[in-house]
Amino acid sequence: MSITTSQGLRRLRIFAVAATALTLVGAALSAPTSAHAPAADEIPGVDEIVSSPNIRQVANLPKEGPLATGVNSDIAFQGKYAYAGNYNGIAIYDISKPRKPQLVSQVLCPGGQNDISVHGDLLFLSTDSSRNNDSCSSVGQSATIKESWEGIKIFDISDKAHPVYVKSVETKCGSHTHTLVPGKDRKSVYVYVSSYFPDDTFPDCQKPHDLISIIKVPVKAPTEAAVVGTPNLFPDGGNGTDNYSFETTGCHDITAYPALNLAAGACMGDGLLFDISKPEAPRVLDRIRDTVNFAFWHSATFNNAGNKVVFTDELGGGVGAECNDTVGPDKGADAIYNIQGRGDNRHLVFKSYYKIPRTNADTENCVAHNGSLIPVPGRDIMVQAWYQGGISVWDFTNSAKPKEIAFWERGPVNADTPTFGGAWSAYYYNGFIFSNDQKGLDVLEVNDSRLWGAEQVRLGQLNAQTQTAY
């Protein structure tokens, strides 16, 4: 997520979203006995569930306790557990019975956006909200104060009922998102930290900010975690301000494919393809721009073969109504790129855009957001969250002609006033789709012959930004 504000007000964007999200608190969860497929231009009623006939909701756990007023964010998976980020902290769910998930524990640890990932007994949490210290009892404090803190928090999750906060690592401009890259020796894991929006008034976030921070974490000694590099990905300064796209002042998100030594970076005004064969020294192979239709390069997903990348454009920063006829089909969408060439000559070639084919209300925040591959043999299919645009399952096997094969969504949170809500993340994990929606954890099941074979794939762990070869 990236809310469009002036650079000088960077740290206020998180609290603005959180305040908007408070309008969701106390709203009744709509749970109709059935869902119907609307026409492309039909707007469902408030909280009305609509879907294609091949997908259904099988469970929902509403937010509760200290996380009830926070914005739900990303999800990671390990074994029979789902780890859900929230601007107020972490929720751990037992999903051994996906149709009956159970809350195991919650950790109150404010610090948006609390992007989350797991590795062994370690959990990593991004803090991109300037705090007065690195504790879980910290409060917001201006980034203009040198002593303010933001970065990565590390937890020991060997006891799922009682996670323990063990280490913090401060990084330049904080950590909006992060990506795990396992070390070749398996003794360490690297954390690629993405952050952006520097300002001359921020002592720890100065211009230019053309870099990412790389943290090395010894798996058996996480308290020794430290920044080992801040590689400059944009020696020429990156995309400027004289076009439709955001100025590049850092990266929003990076997706790694360690088995292929590749990563794709979504960096505000630029898209990157780079080599991570040496995790501490990533090398840029190609850089692309779309100054006509892409406002904010937000995230990336490789296909299983590693010869395509889907980039997303988070037009409107996640709070705008971007799924309507005024915006059209090519903005706030996905862009599919094929990877051509070999070795250092690999480059990205644009093929097409994909956007959900339904009109959303002007009160609904809707734009391309977080998703993952569905492991269908021989096909390129992914599931993706679109905030109040719901969840879309779509096929990009033919890069030039992507098509939707299933969808599920709730109607507007509010039919009269623009109100933040909807699905932040939607990921496929061991036979089911799990979505961190502002209504809580949703579990969906798809029944479609085009997904044949995916149900046979069983993973022990899933961090969507660290892709596994199926």
For residue 157, pLDDT beyond 70: yes
Quick check: 14 pLDDT over 90?
no
The Cα–Cα gap between 163 and 156 comes to 6
Give the model's confidence band at 11: pLDDT under 50 very low, under 70 low, under 90 confident, else very high. very low
Q: Is residue 106 part of a domain?
A: yes
Tens digits of residue pLDDT in 193-204: 999 999 999 999
Backbone region of residue 326 per phi and psi (left: phi > 0; alpha: psi in -120 to 50; beta: other values): alpha
Average pLDDT of the chain to the nearest whole number: 93
User: Could you tell me if residue 470 is inside a domain?
Assistant: no
Least confident of 5-19, 59-73, 159-173, 265-279: 5-19
Dump pLDDT digits (tens) for 368-385. Answer: 999 999 999 999 999 999
pLDDT at 15: 34
Distance CA 312, CA 244 (A): 15
% of the chain beyond a pLDDT of 70: 93
CATH for 35? 2.130.10.10
Q: Quickly tell me which residue has 């894991």 as its tokens.
A: 189
Residue 431 lies in a domain: yes
Is 335 inside any structural domain? yes
Q: What domain count does the chain have?
A: 1
pLDDT for 26: 34
- Give 2's pLDDT tier (boundaries 50, 70, 90): low
Q: How confident is the model at residue 341 (pLDDT cuts 50, 70, 90)?
A: very high
Q: Would you say residue 435 lies in a domain? A: yes
Query: CB–CB of 22/69 below 8 Å?
Result: yes
Tokens of 379: 């096909």
- What's the domain range around 340? 7-462
Which token pair is 164? 């323990």
What pLDDT is stored for residue 174 in this prediction? 98
User: Where does the pLDDT of residue 296 fall: very low under 50, low under 70, confident under 90, or very high at 90 and above?
Assistant: very high
Contact 432, 57 (CB under 8 A): no
Give the separation between CA 446 and CA 432, rounded to whole angstroms: 7
pLDDT: which is higher, 356 or 21: 356
- At residue 181, does pLDDT exceed 60? yes
Q: What is the mean pLDDT of residues 1-12?
A: 41
Q: How do residues 241-268 score in pLDDT, each as one tens digit?
A: 889 999 999 999 999 999 999 999 999 9
Q: Is residue 285 part of a domain?
A: yes
- At residue 304, the pLDDT reads 98
Instruction: Please report whether residue 1 resides in a domain.
Output: no
| 229, part of any domain | yes
Supply the pLDDT for residue 79: 98
Lowest mean pLDDT among 38-42, 197-201, 384-388, 428-432: 38-42
Q: According to the model, what pLDDT value does residue 3 have?
A: 46
- The average pLDDT across 32-39 equals 63
